[in-house]
């Protein structure tokens, strides 16, 4: 029995040494950061928020089609150049006139008049006071950029949890497959032993047939586990933006390093949890929107200046050339005293929105604390379970060695031996599942604290 065990361990060592490249934990984290589609989209959203956070857009508005245009207030002045209009186009013209008078001597028949018209203008407008709305808007853009960073972090946590879940599922399946492969080696040995006993007259054909059936069953279980392993490999490749047929292996051990500490983890909720931080940031943005609405009650004061040049020429007539140019500069003032209570209604609605944001934040805190407590209890209990399952595996191994010796010596039947072997397989399966469950609860425990990315 010990010879079989040593042969199996050597066999596993040779297979591992010649297997495909092993994907390590650091590789999974790195590839998720670099390749995951959701993470890449979140990165692009950060860039959009960063591009929009500039003083040129303060007081501006967003038009349809995604083109950013300035509004009538802002930290930067509005400068425009115009030349011509549909009524007075810039360029050349031609008119043909036919005039008839009582005195035919004064008649004009088909007289052509060519003309030119130039009227460019330069206008500069700057509202330097708008009820301090521009400053509230700039702070709001800052908070929006910060919000996009928090949303990126939340997306990264979710993507990383999905990748690691598939990764550790593969390790768990691989652990169980090793135990099945070991059982397959033992089953083949027992099958040979049953045949030897039958040939020597000390065994039964029933034991031989049952040994062959059990050997086939173990082969089927290995194939089934290989199918599950392939599914998780394809899933992980998709999460890492790699070809689905890219083959790789994983380590065969799940390591749990975190120790559950509910008091410290509860303190991390308010400081690091992504959902809570996003809720807090939304409240800040809503409060700045309220300042923007309130600023609409104040007057707007600014300065403006323009320079115009106009030149018209005609081929005929008393006025052959008309040319004007000059500039104007001064203050501008506007104050909307009544706008059908639009501002008043917007302020009242925004106050309700802030109240809703606070309620959402309270709900998020309670929900995340509930998730944390569940994860803490599950994590703590799973650590106990995994210790018990390790003991069960050790006991099952010892029992298997004894059962193999008893069957070899003819003290017990093959059915009794197979029962012990199945107990060993079940113990190994429970250990693999316990290790996987413990690791997943650890990841959720860290994610709820906002410590998974760290």
Q: What digits encode the pLDDT tens for the residues 254-295? A: 999 899 999 999 999 989 999 999 999 999 999 999 999 999
Q: Compute the average pLDDT of residues 249-255.
A: 91
In whole angstroms, what separates CA 164 from the centre of its chain?
15
The CA R_g of the chain, rounded to the nearest whole Å, is 40
CA distances to 98, 142, 282, 332 from 135, in Å: 63, 11, 18, 20
Spatial separation of the C-alpha atoms in residues 239 and 243, rounded to whole Å: 10
% pLDDT > 90, the chain: 52
In whole angstroms, what separates CA 331 from the centre of its chain?
49
Q: Which of 368, 367, 350, 343 is nearest to 283 (CA)?
A: 350
Give me the residue spans of the domains in the chain.
Answer: 2-59+131-299+339-449, 77-129+300-334
CB 144 within 8 A of CB 53: yes
Long-range contacts of 419-427 (CB under 8 A, 24+ apart): 420/396, 421/183, 421/186, 421/187, 421/214, 423/396, 423/399, 424/179, 424/183, 424/393, 424/396, 424/397, 424/399, 424/400, 425/179, 425/180, 425/183, 427/389, 427/392, 427/393, 427/395, 427/396
The DSSP-derived string for 226-254 is: HHHHHHHHHHHHHHTT--TT---B--S--
Q: What digits encode the pLDDT tens for the residues 317-366? A: 656 777 788 888 889 888 888 888 899 999 999 999 999 999 999 999 99
Say what the pLDDT of residue 186 is.
Answer: 87
Is the per-residue pLDDT at 15 higher than 80?
no
The pTM of the full predicted model, rounded to 2 decimals, is 0.82
Domain 2-59+131-299+339-449: assigned CATH number: 1.20.1600.10
Say what the pLDDT of residue 101 is.
Answer: 72
Q: What digits encode the pLDDT tens for the residues 74-102? A: 678 888 887 765 555 656 666 676 767 77
Say what the pLDDT of residue 318 is.
Answer: 59
CB 94 within 8 A of CB 114: yes
Instruction: List all residues 6 or more positions away from 97 whose beta carbon is below 8 Å from its beta carbon.
Output: 108, 110, 111, 113
**If DSSP codes are grouped into helix, strand and coil, which group holds residue 25?**
helix
β-partners of residue 324 are 310
Q: What digits encode the pLDDT tens for the residues 174-193? A: 999 999 998 899 889 888 98
355 compared with 112, residue with greater pLDDT: 355
Secondary structure string (H, E, C) spanning 169-195: HHHHHHHHHHHHHHHHHHHHHHHHHHH
């Amino acid at each position: 029995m010990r010879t079989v065990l040593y042969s199996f361990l050597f066999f596993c060592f040779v297979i591992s040494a010649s297997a495909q490249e092993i994907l390590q934990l650091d590789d999974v984290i790195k590839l998720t950061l670099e390749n995951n589609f959701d993470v890449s989209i979140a990165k692009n959203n950060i860039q959009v928020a960063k591009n929009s956070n500039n003083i040129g857009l303060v007081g501006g508005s967003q038009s349809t089609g995604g083109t950013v245009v300035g509004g009538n207030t802002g930290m930067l002045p509005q400068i425009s150049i115009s030349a011509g209009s549909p009524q007075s186009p810039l360029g050349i013209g031609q008119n043909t006139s036919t005039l008839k008078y009582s005195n035919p001597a004064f008649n004009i028949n088909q007289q052509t008049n060519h003309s030119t018209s130039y009227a460019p203008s330069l206008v500069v407008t700057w509202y330097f006071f708008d009820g301090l709305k521009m400053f509230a808007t700039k702070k709001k853009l800052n908070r929006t950029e910060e919000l996009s960073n928090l949303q990126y972090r939340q997306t990264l946590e979710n993507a990383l949890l999905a990748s690691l879940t598939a990764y550790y599922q593969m390790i768990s399946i691989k652990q169980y497959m090793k135990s099945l492969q070991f059982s397959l080696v033992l089953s083949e040995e027992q099958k040979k032993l049953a045949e030897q006993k039958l040939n020597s007259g000390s065994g039964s054909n029933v034991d031989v047939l049952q040994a062959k059936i059990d050997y086939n069953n173990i082969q089927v279980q290995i194939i089934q586990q290989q199918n599950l392993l392939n599914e998780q490999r394809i899933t992980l490749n998709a999460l890492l933006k790699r070809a689905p047929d890219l083959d790789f292996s994983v380590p065969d051990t799940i390591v749990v390093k975190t120790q559950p500490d509910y008091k410290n983890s509860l303190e991390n909720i308010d400081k690091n949890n992504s959902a809570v931080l996003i809720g807090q940031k939304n409240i800040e943005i809503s409060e700045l929107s309220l300042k923007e609405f309130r600023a609409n009650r104040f007057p707007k004061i600014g300065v403006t200046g323009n320079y115009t040049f106009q030149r018209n020429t005609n081929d005929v007539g008393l006025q052959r050339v008309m040319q004007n140019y000059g500039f104007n500069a001064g203050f501008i003032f506007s104050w909307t005293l009544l706008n059908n209570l639009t501002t008043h209604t917007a302020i009242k609605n925004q106050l309700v929105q802030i109240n809703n944001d606070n309620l959402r934040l309270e709900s998020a805190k309670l929900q995340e604390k509930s998730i944390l407590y569940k994860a803490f209890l599950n994590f703590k209990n799973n650590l106990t379970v995994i210790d018990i399952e390790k003991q069960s595996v050790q006991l099952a191994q010892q029992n298997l060695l004894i059962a193999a010796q008893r069957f070899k010596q003819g003290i017990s039947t093959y059915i009794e031996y197979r029962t012990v072997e199945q107990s060993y397989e079940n113990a190994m399966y429970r250990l693999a599942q316990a290790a996987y469950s413990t690791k997943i609860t650890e990841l959720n425990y860290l994610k709820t604290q906002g410590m998974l990315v760290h």
